[in-house]
Structure 1
Amino acid sequence: MSSSLWGVATMPESKPTPAPGPCLLVPGLCGSVLHVRGVGEEGEGRREWIVAERADAAFRALWGRYCPDSREIQSLTQEEVIIPTGGLNDGGLYACDLLDPSLNILPPAALRYFHTLIQTMTREWGHVPGHSLHGFPYDFRQSNLRHLEALLAKLERISGANGGVKVDVISHSMGGLVVKLLLAKYPTQCARLVRSWVAIAAPFNGAPGFTADALLTGVQFVSGWANYFFVQRETLRQMVCQAPSIFELLPSGDMDWGHEAGTPRVTIRLTGPVDELGEEGSIPVVAPQAAAAATVVAGEGEKEGSEGDEEEAPVEGSRYTFNIADDGLRELLRLCMRDNEVTLQEKGIPLPLVDEILDHAMEMRSLLAKAELPPDCKMLNLFGTGLPTPFSCAYGTEAAPLQSLASLSDGSTTAVFETLDGDGTVPAVSARRDGLAAFQRVGLTGDHRQLMELPASLDLIHGFLSEVANDEAVSVGDEGDELEGHGERRHLSHFYTGMRYWPYCTEPDELPEVEGGWLMV
């Protein structure tokens, strides 16, 4: 690759664009259409995720209870969750394209999942649905481990239908964990079946702030007036608290988030102490402390905070801090969910925390650490940067502490986040540190979902897949540079044009601010 003094890459002589090889799209959390039907029934059933006009009521059909023996979330009714085909022979694309297929004219951005990517790949890159382009939708509530055999079988079928050639894989978000687990559990088969992997916004080291807040207060997918017509936070919380996949998005305790970030944590300010936690604070990371004194302004006509006009008055209250990555969060969830129940078909159903769900999540983390890329498989890691991304959560303030832990789930409490750089959901440092010998890592300014359809993302993916097909990728330097402390390699490829790039930055706060721009690492 030639480069000017300004670091702008130039394009060498162009090569003929090869015919696209087979490609499989693997969605992430909430990225698959889910239907529900009676156990033993046939057919497509009815769509429950997503039905825009009755989203909140429909989503309740996805509530379940985690079973430690099967390690699955099981239905609370005599129904089962299935993946629809839409009556199409499109290789699974239907259920990861538009999340509400009825809104196929000017669909809202929140419901366009792989839609833009699918349209681009079929209309501009030459892919054929059901032949050279496939999707792998799945029940995103279940453990990521549960999908590995089905994913392996899907790759076998795609490869076999295309003359035995290897398959390119593109994943988004949690789908990256599914693919990485496949590499860890079936390395020999992956070496035979997978040619390349594009991981978009993958939470390789967890999404601590997003996940902890989702478990405590729920998830809000849309904001403003639109939220009144979508799934409510509490409705989503009741699902995620029993869904093993959500717990698998918690960070591992040995992740180094940077010297300033420290450890992700949850801080709660309450009007009084919690008896079950004890006075010594042996379970929380930080012992219960008296809330900081409030400021009282004494003096008429003076501005609040004027020097000499303030005195401190004690406030009745306690503060607890829990480490998200260890048993502190377990104890907090156990207390918050001890009386948790849902009402379904006019019947109250208890749904306390199932301790084993956290144990199983940690087992998945251990398996992830064993993954390696096959020798001839190239990986492009696209991650988001430039947006404040939840890292630690705080609930209640010195001036307005919560009345009790029950206030977390009553719909009135929202978190104040300590943030890192990232895509708004996954911190850049989590997505960037994939733990693999990635061919390229590229940071783009964009939010978590938007990264799938940015023109820059599409150009990068197309260029990367074309280079992989040509098998003539050229890297800068002889061996690439070591990624400090992680034994990973980084490379810059020659096919990008008009791009500014910077040296690798060791910490997320060192990343340059580039509006709508590129960062190559």
Structure 2
Amino acid sequence: MIDKLSWLPWSRKDPYINENLDPVILIPGIGGSVLEAVSDKGHRERIWVRLFAADHEFKTKLWSLFDPETGKTNSLDSRTWIEVPEDRHGLYSCDILDPSLVIPLDIVCYFHNVINKMLEWGYQEGTTLFGFGYDFRQSNRLPEVLERFKERLKTAFLSSGGKKVNIVSHSMGGLLVKSFLALHYDDFEKYVNSWIAIAAPFQGAPGFILDVLLTGCEFVKGWQREFFVAKWSMHQLLIECPSVYELMANPEFEWVRAPLLNIWRESYNEAGERVVKLDSYKPDELLPILTEALADNTISYAGSTIPLPFNKAIFNWAKETQKLWHSATLPPGVKFYNIFGTSYDTPLDVR
């Protein structure tokens, strides 16, 4: 539960600062960063996350198409572009994802409690505590994102007086860090003291991602869904997101038991009787299944019908990203902690 008093700015006490602490950068997972749509006239609007008029603005500003030449997914609205706010040294983007809410709700709090607790311990925003939000639609190895991250690492290193940085990443944020490690090894070695990866899907998140690509996903449950982005709207966005394809089962990973996609298929036998058969597909057998399932998928945007099938160009891009991750090695002297769940029974079962 969130600390309801800490939500109110006037409830905060004078900060305690411990100058002996090493700097920390917090990196959220998919959907964990505030995104703003900036118009060609300079108007800014928080487009993610918001709980009112969310679905309409989401489809208008965030629906995208992938450009295989650049590896970037671009919004269909050519008059706006998406930016991650850098307020509070990056912490604003991953603290409370809808700061306009008067009543605090758990669903819009990301690192909120973590940030408040770290401030109590003596961390100071902009000196020893930083955040790094990113556009979750984009590839985890997009060059401009990794350049931004390098600058954030450098800033944290210099602002703290030359102390190496501790990175705390959650979920897909761990894949962004691994991309940086693979492509900016020297900078990682120079600036990083330790890396704590929490629930990072290093081998992919096949169950979740196949569900996303075939049916969409919901970030909220219960009555709050009525105020948020529809599952179908989210589905149509994520089909064009490289980051999602990069979360498919990693073919470079040596599976003890490969994850399977199970599909019930209906057919008729020679006697004309209806029969149902369960077919199973391994990670390297999914391409024709996903292609078939999304062959006729379309969206209507600005009076036009746009085909939105399974994107093989993104699929190929993602395979190259996964090969890159497989080649990453940790510099000597950098401590690494991989925290992940080992049981569905209780969140206390971790390794």
TM over 0.5: yes
Residues of 2 paired with 1:145 and 1:519: CA distance?
28
Q: How does 1:60-459 map to 2 (within 5 A)?
A: 60=59, 61-78=61-78, 79-85=80-86, 88=87, 90-103=88-101, 105-106=103-104, 108-122=105-119, 124-146=120-142, 147-258=145-256, 262-272=257-267, 314-317=273-276, 319-323=278-282, 325-326=283-284, 328-387=285-344, 445-446=346-347
Change (3 A) 1:19 1:164: closer
Residues of 2 paired with 1:319 and 1:198: CA distance?
40
Residues of 2 paired with 1:318 and 1:345: CA distance?
42
- Post-superposition CA distance 1:454-507 (Å, at most 9, x none): xxxxxxxxxxxxxxxxxxxxxxxxxxxxxxxxxxxxxxxxxxxxxxxxxxxxxx
Residues of 1 paired with 2:204 and 2:193: CA distance?
26
| AA matched with 1:344 | Y
CA drift of 1:256 comes to: 4.2
Does the CA contact (< 8 Å) of 2:252 and 2:323 recur in 1?
no
Does the CA contact (< 8 Å) of 2:35 and 2:48 recur in 1?
yes
Residues of 2 paired with 1:378 and 1:47: CA distance?
37
CA drift of 1:315 comes to: 2.0
Residues of 2 paired with 1:254 and 1:161: CA distance?
39
Provide the secondary structure at the position in 2 that maps to 1:28: coil
Partner of 2:14: none
CA drift of 1:333 comes to: 2.0
Residues of 2 paired with 1:249 and 1:240: CA distance?
12
Does the CA contact (< 8 Å) of 1:19 and 1:126 recur in 2?
no
CA drift of 1:264 comes to: 1.6
Provide the secondary structure at the position in 1 that maps to 2:107: helix
Change (3 A) 1:166 1:48: same
What is the aligned-residue RMSD (CA, Å)? 2.3
Residues of 2 paired with 1:184 and 1:253: CA distance?
18
With normalisation by structure 2, the TM-score equals: 0.87
Provide the secondary structure at the position in 2 that maps to 1:219: coil
Bigger radius of gyration among the two? 1
Provide the secondary structure at the position in 1 that maps to 2:195: strand
Residues of 2 paired with 1:52 and 1:80: CA distance?
21
- Post-superposition CA distance 1:70-99 (Å, at most 9, x none): 1111111112111124xx4x1011111111
Provide the secondary structure at the position in 2 that maps to 1:352: coil
CA drift of 1:265 comes to: 2.1
Does the CA contact (< 8 Å) of 1:91 and 1:131 recur in 2?
no
Residues of 1 paired with 2:74 and 2:117: CA distance?
37
Does the CA contact (< 8 Å) of 2:195 and 2:335 recur in 1?
yes
Partner of 1:47: 46
Does the CA contact (< 8 Å) of 1:211 and 1:250 recur in 2?
yes
Change (3 A) 1:104 1:168: farther
Residues of 2 paired with 1:18 and 1:139: CA distance?
32
Structure 1 stretches of 4+ with a deviation exceeding 6 A read none
Partner of 1:37: 38
Change (3 A) 1:178 1:225: same
CA drift of 1:519 comes to: 4.8
Residues of 2 paired with 1:367 and 1:256: CA distance?
15
| AA matched with 1:111 | V
- Post-superposition CA distance 1:420-460 (Å, at most 9, x none): xxxxxxxxxxxxxxxxxxxxxxxxx42xxxxxxxxxxxxxx
CA drift of 1:216 comes to: 0.4
Unaligned 5+ segments in structure 1 are 1-16, 274-289, 294-312, 389-444, 447-515
- Post-superposition CA distance 1:238-287 (Å, at most 9, x none): 011100000001112353443xxx322222223349xxxxxxxxxxxxxx
Partner of 2:9: none
Residues of 1 paired with 2:267 and 2:302: CA distance?
37
With normalisation by structure 1, the TM-score equals: 0.60
Kindly, what percent of the aligned residue pairs are identical?
38
- Indicate the larger mover: 177-186 or 338-347: 338-347
Residues of 2 paired with 1:109 and 1:374: CA distance?
37
- Post-superposition CA distance 1:374-422 (Å, at most 9, x none): 212112222123217xxxxxxxxxxxxxxxxxxxxxxxxxxxxxxxxxx
Is 2:29 the partner of 1:28?
yes
Partner of 1:400: none
Does the CA contact (< 8 Å) of 1:49 and 1:58 recur in 2?
no
Residues of 1 paired with 2:126 and 2:163: CA distance?
16
